[in-house]
Structures are given as C-alpha cells and as structure tokens.
Amino acid sequence: MFVGQGDQIFMNEVFLKYLTAPTITSGGNPPAFSLTPDGRLTAKNADISGNVNANSGTLNNVTINENCRVLGKLSANQIEGDLVKTVGKAFPRDSRAPERWPSGTITVRVYDDQPFDRQIVIPAVAFSGAKHEQDHTDIYSSCRRLWIIR
C-alpha cells in the first residue's frame, strides 16, 4: 500500500536497490536507530558481528569471551583475580674474598593483601659450594634460602 498525505509518504513494504538520504531515523520515541550524514550511527540493542574498528569510545559492562591482546598501555584501578609477578634475586657475593664467590642469605618476603588464594612458584636454586683458603684458613661457601610468607 502506498499513501501520500501532506509532505509524507506511507508504505507498508518497500524494496529499494539503492537509497540516498541525508538522515535515516527509525520510528519510535526515542528512535532506536539513526544514521546521520557525518556517518554517526546510533543503534539501541544492536547485535554487531564481524570486524569492528574503533579509534575511541567507551565500553560498559562487557565480557571478553576469548583471549585478547593489549598492544598499548593498560591502566586499571580495580582488578579482581590474580596477576603474575616475577622477581629475580642475585645471590650475594662475599666481599672478603678476592674472587667474590656467592655466599650469604637471600630473604624473600611475600605480602598478600588479596582475599583470594594465590599460588607462589619458587624455582629451584642451583648452587655449587666450594672450599676456599684465605690466610691459611679453610673457608666454605654457603647457600641458604629463607621464605617468609605473611
């Protein structure tokens, strides 16, 4: 059905091969869909599939179902869950010995202020002790690990 009234045309069903219009707006108040001449698309309850490219914007209450990569800097002020942090410690060297062989104690303190359980992975330490002589006295290098977890 095609009806003209005043400066408006009413059609129940339309098939157009091409449409040129300065602005396209759906019915309803407020409209659920609009496309403006500058390319601004506004759609309420939109399901969009395929590749999405955006240069700016805001996402609220979204879920990332799969893995993602952040190639730039990520800033966050509320993270729930665990993050991985690694720390490397060099063994102290005995300054009394001319060779400065490894000798001493490493203390690692872990402070946990999160309400969930964490897994702490402590890699193996390979140490090869040796007997040294200084001023006709035998000195043995030593290695000790001490873990304090609070």
Query: Strands of 41-43's sheet, edge to edge?
Result: 24-25, 33-35, 41-43
Extents of the domains making up the chain = 104-149
- What's this model's pTM, rounded to 2 decimal places? 0.43
Q: Give yes or no for a contact between 93 and 100, defined as CB atoms under 8 angstroms apart.
A: yes
Most confident of 25-29, 32-36, 81-85, 134-138: 32-36
Which residues does residue 8 pair with via DSSP β-bridges, in sequence order? 5
Q: Give yes or no for a contact between 87 and 120, defined as CB atoms under 8 angstroms apart.
A: no
pLDDT in tens, 50-104: 999 999 999 999 999 999 999 999 888 888 777 767 777 777 777 776 666 777 7
Which residues does residue 147 pair with via DSSP β-bridges, in sequence order? 108
pLDDT for res 113: 74
Distances (CA, A) of 28 to 31, 44, 106: 5, 12, 70
